[in-house]
């Protein structure tokens, strides 16, 4: 039933434009995530907790720990983001007739 409903539906009609960047295949999900991480940094790391919410083996833990550290150092190497101060708006004066109307109809 779902297959029939989804047939003919285009992703572009939902406001998204998707293009296949690469096909990564493996018999094991962990190996596919590791290959994804090697090819597209931070993508495999983002999907790790989705597919493996529990414990990892020692080898897997070591691999992902080095990837996390690489991600941290690359973030620190970039120029830090600075917030722009909020713009101040001039005060608004409300005429006395409008004040009465507003006070009668509280939100």
Alpha-carbon gap, residue 82 to 54, rounded angstroms: 36
Which pLDDT does position 1 carry in this prediction? Answer: 36
Which pLDDT does position 98 carry in this prediction? Answer: 52
Domain boundaries, the chain: 23-76
- Dump pLDDT digits (tens) for 33-51: 999 999 998 899 999 999 9
Higher pLDDT, 3 or 25: 25
Taking a C-beta distance cutoff of 8 angstroms, is the pair 57, 86 a contact? no
Ordered DSSP codes for 64-95: HHHHHHHHHHHHHHSPPP-PPPPPP-PPPPPP
């Amino acid at each position: 039933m779902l297959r029939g409903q989804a047939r003919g539906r285009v992703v572009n009609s939902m406001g998204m434009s998707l293009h296949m960047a690469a096909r990564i295949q493996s018999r094991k999900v962990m190996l596919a995530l590791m290959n994804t991480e090697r090819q597209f940094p931070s993508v495999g790391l983002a999907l790790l907790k989705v597919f493996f919410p529990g414990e990892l083996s020692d080898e897997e833990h070591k691999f992902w720990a080095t990837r996390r550290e690489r991600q941290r150092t690359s973030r620190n190497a970039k120029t830090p983001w600075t917030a722009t101060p909020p713009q101040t708006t001039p005060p608004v004066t409300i005429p006395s007739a409008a004040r009465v109307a507003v006070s009668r109809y509280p939100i």
